[in-house]
């Protein structure tokens, strides 16, 4: 896992959650983001900020938003390392 990318995405999850989810907890979890406490509104915010920052497309119905490792893998596959 690209640690720099994972750290940035964990911060974005923290922000999208309105500060309720700790970035360190998110980064070390394999639990579904909703099980960690990310609300529907938080998911929408997360999609917006990730798409804007990384120029990727996230589909709310796809598995890449189920858990943090899946999110990192998806963004990593669809971005260039030049952005790190």
Please classify residue 74 by burial: count the beta carbons closer than 10 Å to its beta carbon, then call 0-12 exposed, 13-18 middle and 19+ buried.
buried
- Domains of the chain, CATH where assigned: 3-83 (1.10.1200.10)
Arithmetic mean of pLDDT over the chain: 90
pTM of the model: 0.88
DSSP letters along 13-71, please? HHHHTTT-S-HHHHHT--SBHHHHT--HHHHHHHHHHHHHHH-----TTSGGGTBHHHH
Burial tier of 56 (Cβ tally within 10 Å: 0-12, 13-18, 19+): middle
Low-confidence ranges of the chain (pLDDT < 50): 82-84
Say how many Å lie between the first and final Cα of the chain, rounded.
Answer: 13
pLDDT of residue 40: 92
């Amino acid at each position: 896992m690209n640690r720099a990318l994972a750290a940035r995405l964990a911060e974005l999850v923290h922000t999208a959650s309105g500060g309720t989810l700790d970035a360190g907890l998110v980064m070390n979890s394999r639990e579904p983001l909703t099980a960690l406490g990310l609300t529907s509104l938080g998911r929408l915010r997360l999609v917006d900020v990730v798409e804007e920052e990384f120029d990727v497309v996230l589909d709310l119905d796809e598995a890449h938003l189920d858990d943090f490792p899946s999110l990192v893998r998806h963004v990593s596959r669809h971005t260039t390392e030049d952005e790190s």
